[in-house]
Chain A
Amino acid sequence: MKTALLEDLQKARAEKRQVVLATNLTSGEQKLLYPFESKEIYDVIEAARGALRNDKPTTVETEDGPVFLNIFNPPLRLFIVGAVHIAQALVPMAAGADYEVTVIDPRRSFGSSFRFPNVTLDDRWPDDAFADLHPDRRSAIVTLTHDAKLDDPALQYALRSDAFYIGALGSGRTHAKRQQRLQKAGFSDEDFARIHGPIGLDIGAKSPAEIAISIMAEITAVLRGKAGS
């Protein structure tokens, strides 16, 4: 590998870009690919997209011999808006699945470190927090407050981001009202369709922990490209 290429790779990783190092195993020739920053379609870049999505390096056969695609994904992040009971159950599950978790809630009595030990708490309003934390393609955002004053700014910001998963707690009726409000704010039906609501896989979850399981399962399904909805 050329030292200059390694420097470029390290820079891309520091900038949290999803980058793939493609190595021709016969010639040793290498280059960096940014599969999600281009719309190109050819075998190698498609395979690189798949490898990033699956979080797993792979080798593709090409006319010039086998090419190994080593992937460098930035860390997964989960932003939970609403330091509610379900969040208490969701935090350790997400942390166990290797997400960097941030709980956002400006209401001090909710987002206390007594209720949420061992997790980053952010007491800013969701849109202010997101403007600083930059949710990206490796980020999931869930809103759990049931309060439009908090959920809506978070969802509006989420819809303008590349977050791979956006979910909102609330019944079908609540979700329909949410759609009307977001439409008024200028979001299309296509935008709105990015929001998973009612949140979570339908596993009949009742308790906060069960709902957290259904949310974590849905996030995982979307991350791994197995989403049914």
Chain B
Amino acid sequence: MTETTSALPADDILAQALAWRKDGRKVALATVITTWGSAPRPAGSQLAIDETGRMVGSVSGGCVEGAVIQEALEIIESGKPKTLEFGVTNDEAWEVGLACGGKINVFVEKLD
């Protein structure tokens, strides 16, 4: 079960990550580090994920969040940070109904 609250500003995302951590949960942070073309979210955009897959924030407005969460759950266990690369083809963008067509790199790390 996941929920999104992408309307929150960045500080609320970090505050939420911190609150989860203090609550004893395992947490991962994903950050957009580079974008090319018409990426939906700018560099610096963040997503916090807890061990149950609950998330706040957004790195792509919905395009790649599912994949980021899968990786984040692994990184929460391994503790090893990783840079993920996503190319959003125009066809895929059409499928999910977004005006994408860009490419993004997302850095995912565990909060420990």
Question: Which residues of A are at the interface with B, using a C-beta cutoff of 8 A?
Answer: 1-3, 6-7, 9-10, 13, 23, 25, 28, 56-59, 68, 70-72
Q: Please give, as numbers and ranges, the residues of chain A lying within 8 Å of B110 by CB-CB distance.
A: 1
Assess whether A6 is in contact with B17, with CB atoms less than 8 Å apart: yes
The A contact surface, by secondary structure, is mixed
User: Is B62's CB within 8 Å of the partner chain A?
Assistant: no
Specify which of A23, A25, A59 lies most central, judged by the most chain B CB atoms within 10 Å of its CB: A25
CB-defined contacts of B83 to chain A, threshold 8 Å: 25
Please report whether the interface of chain B is mostly helix, strand, loop or mixed according to DSSP: mixed
Q: Count contacts between A and B, CB distance < 8 Å.
A: 50
Contact A3 B44 (CB under 8 A): no
Contact call A6/B31, Cβ cutoff below 8 A: no
A7 to B80, CA, bound (A): 21
Contact bitstring B86-112, A, C-beta under 8 A = 1, else 0: 000000000000000000000101111
Cα–Cα distance between A13 and B17 once the two chains are bound (Å): 15
| Contact with B33, one of A7, A10, A25 (Cβ below 8 angstroms) | A25
Residues of chain B whose beta carbon lies under 8 Å from any beta carbon of chain A: 10-11, 14-15, 17-18, 21, 29, 31, 33-34, 42-44, 80-81, 83, 107, 109-112
B111 touches A28 (CB 8 A): no
Cα–Cα, bound, A1→B83 (Å): 14
> With the chains together, A170 CA to B109 CA distance in Å?
54
How distant is the Cα of A2 from the Cα of B18 in the complex, in angstroms?
10
Which residues of B have CB within 8 Å of A58?
43
Closest to B22 in A: A3
Determine the distance from Cα of A3 to Cα of B43 in the docked complex, in whole angstroms: 22
Given A68-B33, A71-B44, verify A28-B81 contact (CB < 8 Å).
Answer: yes
